[in-house]
Amino acid sequence: MSEDDARSARASGRAAEGPVPDETTTHFGFETVAEQDKAQRVAGVFAAVASRYDLMNDLMSGGLHRFWKRFAVDVALPRAGERILDVAGGTGDMSRLFAARVGSAGEVWLTDINGSMLGVGRDRLADAGLLVPAVQCDAERLPFPDRYFDCVCVAFGLRNMTRKEQALTEFRRVLRPGGRVLVLEFSRVWKPLEKLYDAYSFGVLPVLGGRVAGDADAYRYLAESIRMHPDQETLAEMMRNAGFEHVDWHNLSAGVVAVHRGYAP
Ligand SMILES: C[S@@+](CC[C@H](N)C(=O)[O-])C[C@H]1O[C@@H](n2cnc3c(N)ncnc32)[C@H](O)[C@@H]1O
């Protein structure tokens, strides 16, 4: 899709018909971009909003993101002493919740590709007195040994990855047999609410992002990337294709977000 197509798609709040990304292109919101450019574009978005990211999350979701994250941690069934990998962990919300559950005998690793987001997360966790190592790395090439973790979690991160299948395969590689993967992500909202949700995402979010985080485009990307992300059933199928078993999901807030869970064989 050209930039013009992307612009008219934005105006309608829908992805326009356009060339389907091939193996060398992918989506960046409603735009089709070269695969090698996406990570850099995503990095630009998160570097720009890192310092206001937490405040924006509260404003955009009316605080609901805290409930979604707590619910995802409950679904992960973390036990004392377990090893948890927080992928694309950003400012560290999931790591903090997991650290309280696995206790001092367990391990939680905060990871993110973006140094600005990771820096905010590392400082917040240290300020809370939590010993959580922070590692800057790409989810598609994790610097951890095979079968090391009991649980891998990715919250609102998969959507931004260039090769989601590759990332899911990496999650499975670093999980022990029987280990769980948790994907908390925006998903397909209940049909009757779609119009209202579109009006909010494409009308309100960029304005809020412009005023509070000083970057309307970053929040336009958020709305577009949500629309381009696979729906509940498609993501479940991607997880099965990556080798996960017993894949299930829970819709939250009428499907605004979903928590997918799968088990490594
Ligand atoms: C919306 S934030 C989510 C942060 C945090 N998990 C939360 O729920 O608040 C998305 C994060 O994904 C990270 N990210 C994007 N692509 C990534 C990749 N390929 N590998 C690791 N992290 C990535 C971004 O840097 C950003 O911090």
Query: What is the CA(192)–ligand 1 centre distance, in A?
Result: 30
Residue from 60, 112, 116 to probe ligand 1 pocket by mutation (most atoms less than 8 Å from CB): 112
What is the number of structural domains in the chain? Answer: 1
Query: What is the CA(139)–ligand 1 centre distance, in A?
Result: 9
Closest residue by Cα to residue 192 from 260, 255, 258: 255
218 in a structural domain: no
Say if ligand 1 is within 6 A of residue 68 CB: no
164 in a structural domain: yes
CATH number assigned to the domain comprising residue 127: 3.40.50.150
Q: What is the pLDDT of residues 44-53, one digit of tens each?
A: 889 989 999 9
* Dist. CA 172–CA 168, nearest whole Å: 6
Say if ligand 1 is within 6 A of residue 154 CB: no
Query: What is the CA(112)–ligand 1 centre distance, in A?
Result: 6
26 in a structural domain: no
220 in a structural domain: no
Query: What is the CA(189)–ligand 1 centre distance, in A?
Result: 22
Question: Beta-carbon neighbour count of residue 16 at 10 Å?
Answer: 16
110 in a structural domain: yes
CA distances (Å), 186 to each of 57, 137, 237, in order? 13, 23, 16
Q: How far apart are the first and last CA of the chain?
A: 39
> Per-residue confidence of the chain (265 residues) as pLDDT tens digits?
555 555 555 555 555 444 455 668 999 999 999 999 999 999 888 998 999 999 999 999 999 999 999 999 999 999 999 999 999 999 999 999 999 999 999 999 999 999 999 999 999 999 999 999 999 999 999 999 999 999 999 999 999 999 999 999 999 999 999 999 999 999 999 999 999 999 999 999 999 999 998 999 999 999 999 999 999 999 999 999 999 999 999 999 999 999 999 999 9
197 in a structural domain: no
Residue span of the structural domain in which 170 resides: 63-187+230-263
Say if ligand 1 is within 6 A of residue 32 CB: no
239 in a structural domain: yes
Whether the CB-CB separation of 109 and 87 falls below 8 Å is answered with no
32 in a structural domain: no
Say if ligand 1 is within 6 A of residue 117 CB: yes
Question: Beta-carbon neighbour count of residue 209 at 10 Å?
Answer: 25
* Dist. CA 203–CA 221, nearest whole Å: 13
CA distances (Å), 244 to each of 28, 123, 129, 235, 265, in order? 27, 34, 35, 12, 7
Whether the CB-CB separation of 26 and 35 falls below 8 Å is answered with yes
Q: What is the pLDDT of residues 164-202, one digit of tens each?
A: 999 999 999 999 999 999 999 999 999 999 999 999 999
Query: What is the CA(156)–ligand 1 centre distance, in A?
Result: 7
